[in-house]
Structure 1
Amino acid sequence: MNKTRFHDYGTQAVLLRKKRMLVIKIISILFPFLIIGGVEAGLRLFNYGHSLQLFITAPQHPGYYQLNPAASLKYFSNADIATKGNSELFKQVKDSGTLRVFVLGESTTIGYPYFHNGSFHRWLQFRLMHTNPDKHLEIINLSLTGVNSYTVEGFAKELLPYQPDAVLIYTGHNEYYGCLGTGSTDKVAGNSFLVHLVLQLRKLRITQLMANALHKVSSLKPSGTEGGGKTRMEMMVAEQQIPFGSPMYERGITQFTNNMDNTLRMLDEAKVPVFISNLVSTEKDLFPFISIAPDSTKYPGFGTAYRQGEQAIAKGDSTAALQYFLAAENSCNAHAGCNYYLGELWLQKGDTTAAKTYYDKARDLDGLRFRAPSKLNKVLLDLCSKYKNAHLVDANAAFEAASPGHIIGNSLILEHVHPNLNGYALLSDGFYNTMKKQGLFKAPNDSAMSFAQLRHAMPITVIDSLSGAYKIAHLKRSWPFNTGQVHDTTLISSAEEQLAYEVAFRKTSWEAALQQLYNGYNQNGDFARAATIMAAWVQEHPTEAAYYEEAGNYNGKLDNTAEAIFYFKKAFALSPAFDVARTLFVLYLKQDDAGKALPYLNYAIDHNERRLNLLPVKDCLLQILELQTVAAREPANIAVLNRIAGLYYRMGNKDGAELYIEKVLQASPGNRDALNMQSQLKKV
Structure 2
Amino acid sequence: MNRTSVTTNETPKKRIFTILLIATPIVLLLALEIMLRIFNYGGNQALFVTGPEKQISHYWMCGQEVGKRYFFMQNSKPSPPKDLFLKQKPANGYRIFVLGESTTAGFPYGYNLMFPRILNFRLNDIFPEKQIEVVNTSMSAVNSYTLLDFTDEILAKQPDALLIYAGHNEFYGALGIGSTESLGKNPRVIYAYLKLRRFKIFLLVRDVVGLLRKGVTQISSGSTEVDPSNTLMARIVAEQTIPYKSKLYELGIKQYRENLRRIMRKAQQKGVPVVLSELVSNISDQPPFISVPADSFPTAAHAYEIGKKLAAQGQYQDAKTALTLAKDLDALRFRATEEMNEIIHQVAQEFNAPVVPMKDYFEAESEHGLIGKKLILEHLHPNVQGYFIMADAFLHTMKDAHFISPQWPEARILPKSYYQQNWGMTELDTVSANLDIFYLKGGWPFKPKNQPNHALEDYVPSTKAESLAVNILINDNYSPVVGHVDMAKYFEKKGKYEQAYQEYKAAYYSIPSELEFYKGAVENLLKINATGQALAVLKMAQRYGHDAVTDKWMGSLLAADGQFAEAAPFLERALEASPEDKPLMRNLMRVYEHLQMSDKATAMAAKLGVEPPSAAPTASPNPMTEEGQKSITYMLLTQKAQEFIQQKNYGAALTFMRNAHGINSTPYTYKWIGMLEAGKGNLDEGVIFLAKAHELWPDDFETAYNLCNVYIKLGRRSEAETVINQMEQLRPNFKDPQNLRGRIREMP
Q: What interval of TM-score do these two structures reach, taking the shorter chain for normalisation?
A: 0.7 to 0.9
Match of 1:612 among 573, 582, 586: 586
* Structure 1 match to 2:184: 189
CA change 1:256–1:241 in 2 (3 A) is: same
Whole-angstrom CA distance in 2 between matches of 1:145 and 1:396: 22
Equivalent pair of 1:75/1:180 in contact (CA under 8 Å): yes
Match of 1:504 among 454, 473, 476: 473
Q: CA deviation at 1:534?
A: 1.5
Equivalent pair of 1:190/1:255 in contact (CA under 8 Å): no
* Structure 2 match to 1:326: none
Equivalent pair of 1:107/1:143 in contact (CA under 8 Å): yes
Amino acid at match of 2:468: L
Whole-angstrom CA distance in 1 between matches of 2:331 and 2:540: 51
1:504-523 pair list within 5 angstroms? 504-506=473-475, 508-523=478-493
Point out the more displaced range, 430-439 or 148-157. Answer: 430-439
Whole-angstrom CA distance in 2 between matches of 1:498 and 1:63: 37
CA change 1:586–1:433 in 2 (3 A) is: farther
Whole-angstrom CA distance in 1 between matches of 2:462 and 2:552: 45
SS at match of 1:548: helix
Whole-angstrom CA distance in 2 between matches of 1:680 and 1:195: 68
Whole-angstrom CA distance in 2 between matches of 1:269 and 1:185: 34
CA change 1:597–1:353 in 2 (3 A) is: farther
* Structure 2 match to 1:316: none
Amino acid at match of 1:380: I
CA change 1:356–1:40 in 2 (3 A) is: same
Equivalent pair of 1:582/1:601 in contact (CA under 8 Å): no
Whole-angstrom CA distance in 1 between matches of 2:376 and 2:108: 11
- Report whether the alignment pairs 1:122 with 2:117: yes
Match of 1:455 among 395, 416, 420: 420
Whole-angstrom CA distance in 2 between matches of 1:52 and 1:70: 5
Amino acid at match of 1:358: A
SS at match of 2:99: strand
Amino acid at match of 2:232: R
- Report whether the alignment pairs 1:363 with 2:327: yes
* Structure 2 match to 1:534: 504
Deviations 1:118-159 (A, max 9, x none): 221222233334444554343332211111000001011122
CA RMSD of aligned residues (A): 3.8
Point out the more displaced range, 573-582 or 45-54. Answer: 573-582
Deviations 1:62-112 (A, max 9, x none): 333323333222222425253223233333333432333322211111111
Q: CA deviation at 1:170?
A: 1.4
Amino acid at match of 2:474: F
- Report whether the alignment pairs 1:146 with 2:134: no
Equivalent pair of 2:243/2:292 in contact (CA under 8 Å): yes
- Report whether the alignment pairs 1:103 with 2:98: yes
- Report whether the alignment pairs 1:54 with 2:47: yes
CA change 1:283–1:620 in 2 (3 A) is: same
Point out the more displaced range, 469-478 or 177-186. Answer: 177-186
* Structure 1 match to 2:603: none
* Structure 2 match to 1:640: none
* Structure 1 match to 2:65: 70
Match of 2:442 among 477, 495, 510: 477
Q: CA deviation at 1:42?
A: 3.0
Match of 1:377 among 319, 336, 341: 341
Equivalent pair of 1:584/1:597 in contact (CA under 8 Å): no
CA change 1:293–1:94 in 2 (3 A) is: same
SS at match of 1:100: strand
Equivalent pair of 2:161/2:273 in contact (CA under 8 Å): yes
* Structure 2 match to 1:45: 38
Point out the more displaced range, 489-498 or 390-399. Answer: 489-498
TM-score using structure 2 length: 0.71
- Report whether the alignment pairs 1:599 with 2:580: no
Whole-angstrom CA distance in 2 between matches of 1:187 and 1:372: 19
Amino acid at match of 1:422: Q
TM-score using structure 1 length: 0.78
Whole-angstrom CA distance in 1 between matches of 2:285 and 2:102: 21
Deviations 1:344-388 (A, max 9, x none): 011001011000000111111111111111111111112222224
CA change 1:165–1:552 in 2 (3 A) is: farther
1:84-95 pair list within 5 angstroms? 84-95=79-90
Amino acid at match of 2:435: Y
Q: CA deviation at 1:523?
A: 2.8
Whole-angstrom CA distance in 2 between matches of 1:467 and 1:114: 7
1:128-527 pair list within 5 angstroms? 128-133=123-128, 135-217=130-212, 225-227=222-224, 229=227, 230-293=230-293, 333-388=297-352, 390-437=353-400, 438-440=402-404, 444-445=409-410, 447-483=412-448, 487-488=454-455, 489-506=458-475, 508-527=478-497
Q: CA deviation at 1:416?
A: 1.0
Point out the more displaced range, 370-379 or 612-621. Answer: 612-621
- Structure 1: tracts of 5 or more residues without a match: 1-5, 296-331, 624-644, 663-677
Whole-angstrom CA distance in 2 between matches of 1:679 and 1:568: 27
1:540-555 pair list within 5 angstroms? 540-555=510-525
Q: CA deviation at 1:501?
A: 2.2
Point out the more displaced range, 563-572 or 550-559. Answer: 550-559
* Structure 2 match to 1:629: none
Equivalent pair of 1:153/1:262 in contact (CA under 8 Å): yes
CA change 1:291–1:205 in 2 (3 A) is: same
SS at match of 2:156: helix
CA change 1:613–1:58 in 2 (3 A) is: closer
SS at match of 2:355: strand
Q: Report 1 or 2 for greater relative contact order, CA contacts < 8 Å, sequence distance ≥ 6.
A: 1
Percent sequence identity is 30
Q: CA deviation at 1:428?
A: 1.3
CA change 1:577–1:463 in 2 (3 A) is: closer
Match of 1:82 among 77, 81, 89: 77
- Count of matched residue positions in the alignment of Structure 1 and Structure 2: 599
Deviations 1:615-668 (A, max 9, x none): 665665789xxxxxxxxxxxxxxxxxxxxx986989876677998xx9xxxxxx
CA change 1:453–1:191 in 2 (3 A) is: same
Whole-angstrom CA distance in 2 between matches of 1:220 and 1:192: 26
- Structure 2: tracts of 5 or more residues without a match: 598-617, 641-657, 665-748
Whole-angstrom CA distance in 1 between matches of 2:12 and 2:568: 84
Whole-angstrom CA distance in 2 between matches of 1:29 and 1:210: 21
Whole-angstrom CA distance in 2 between matches of 1:15 and 1:379: 68
CA change 1:443–1:538 in 2 (3 A) is: farther
Deviations 1:434-466 (A, max 9, x none): 233323267645544431111101111222111
Point out the more displaced range, 478-487 or 199-208. Answer: 478-487
Whole-angstrom CA distance in 2 between matches of 1:558 and 1:374: 53
Whole-angstrom CA distance in 1 between matches of 2:550 and 2:232: 48
Q: CA deviation at 1:432?
A: 2.1
Whole-angstrom CA distance in 2 between matches of 1:139 and 1:681: 43
Q: CA deviation at 1:683?
A: 7.7
CA change 1:587–1:60 in 2 (3 A) is: closer
Whole-angstrom CA distance in 2 between matches of 1:182 and 1:469: 31
Q: CA deviation at 1:285?
A: 0.5
Q: CA deviation at 1:599?
A: 2.4
Equivalent pair of 1:581/1:600 in contact (CA under 8 Å): no
